[in-house]
Structure 1
């Protein structure tokens, strides 16, 4: 197989379609071409090798079972697979955080780390106002995909259609998730991020 397979969407798409037909050789080729990149992505989220390996394994199980649901016109193959692995990583993170202390999953690791870092100077503290901290706490309480949809729409300035394409979901689902999430955020923020 060529070294550039992981960068060629048409080849990855063909492997996904073959995987949908339960072609084990195509699935193996897909794994070989993408697993290193997807593992690195999971590792950035989870920061523990064993958890990243678990996310990768669960992700590829989902890819095997869900390949027939992949639609090339909605997302590039690597984008779709990254979303699958990312969701598995977030599920694992949510489970591990809940098991550790019952708290919600952080909305953004860097923001949450900075908020909890007592050594950050006055400039850092000014940058993260109490409103930003409350928003981060409220965002952390949203479900993983709902939080991702809101983040893409408002922090990355994507339209509902673009968010739907990025997440490989119907536009109606994305609109509903964003509307409900905004309602939850509004209620949470009304209580100072403590709800």
Structure 2
């Protein structure tokens, strides 16, 4: 992965419609963004489609990127993640008539109702996470989904460990309140 300064430079060039810079940006960030999207969607075909849409948004929105508000990778991840969450929400609203595969039950699934409830809970959870600031979204996902230590998070966000712990605690309180668990 390129340094944040290199990514900022590439995004500035992409804002000027530099295709070579876009290709370098894509090559440097594709794996990271694809991993984020795939973890949310759990389907490679959908993840590839969403990733393509995310890069179109990055291409079209590069001029709006502000390095004073977030790091380049945080900005790009939030675009990809938000698009993936939109797809999850849309798919959860699809009727059985529109999606015949909804009638298919996996052979290893003992309780389809439990799977549906888990999908609904995951959709609610992702919706609540998406309400957090982009940096806090990334913090929560790195901590609880990717298993990063508090020290790794402190290094990533250039903040003391105790500050990271406070951010996590506040973010979790916000998520709990959003879910109606507070």
User: Smaller-chain TM-score range?
Assistant: 0.5 to 0.7
Distance in 2, matches of 1:138 and 1:36, equals: 24
The C-alpha deviation readout for 1:124-164, integer Å capped at 9, x for no partner, is xxxxxxxxx9xx68945957732x449x49x95xxxxxxxx
Match of residue 145 from structure 1: 130
Task: Evaluate the alpha carbon distance shift between residue 144 and residue 17 of structure 1 in structure 2; reply closer, same or farther with a 3 A threshold.
Answer: same
Q: SS at the partner of 2:68?
A: coil
Which residue number corresponds to residue 37 of structure 2?
A: 42
Correspondence for 2:6? 11
User: Are 1:60 and 2:55 an aligned pair?
Assistant: yes
Which residue in the other structure is 2:76 paired with? 81
Q: For the Cα contact (< 8 Å) 1:9–1:77, is it kept in 2?
A: yes
Unaligned runs of 5+ in 2: 97-113, 141-156, 158-173
TM-score after normalising by structure 2:
0.57
CA contact (8 A) 1:27 1:64 kept: yes
Residue in structure 2 matched with residue 30 of structure 1 by the alignment = 25
1:48 Cα deviation after fit: 0.3
Number of residues of Structure 1 aligned to a counterpart in Structure 2: 127
**Aligned residues of 1:90 and 1:144 also touching (Cα < 8 A):** no
Q: Deviations over 1:85-143 (max 9, x none)?
A: 00111111111121156xxxxxxxxxxxxxx47xxxxxxxxxxxxxxx9xx68945957
CA distance in 2, matches of 1:41, 1:138: 15
Tell me if structure 1 keeps the 8 A contact 2:33–2:77.
Answer: yes
Using the alignment, how far apart are the partners of 1:141 and 1:58 within structure 2? 19
Q: How far did 1:61 drift?
A: 0.4
- Once residues 13 and 141 of structure 1 are traced to their aligned partners in structure 2, the CA distance between those partners, rounded to angstroms, is 28
CA contact (8 A) 1:19 1:64 kept: yes
How has the CA–CA distance of structure 1 residues 138 and 19 changed in structure 2, closer, same or farther, with 3 Å as cutoff?
Answer: closer
Give distance in 2, aligned partners of 1:149 and 1:9. Answer: 19
In structure 2, the residue corresponding to 1:72 is in which secondary structure?
A: coil
Gaps of 5+ in 1: 1-5, 102-115, 118-132, 157-165, 167-180
Q: Give the TM-score normalised by structure 1.
A: 0.54
Taking a change above 3 Å as real, the CA distance of residues 138 and 37 of structure 1, as seen in their structure-2 partners, is: closer
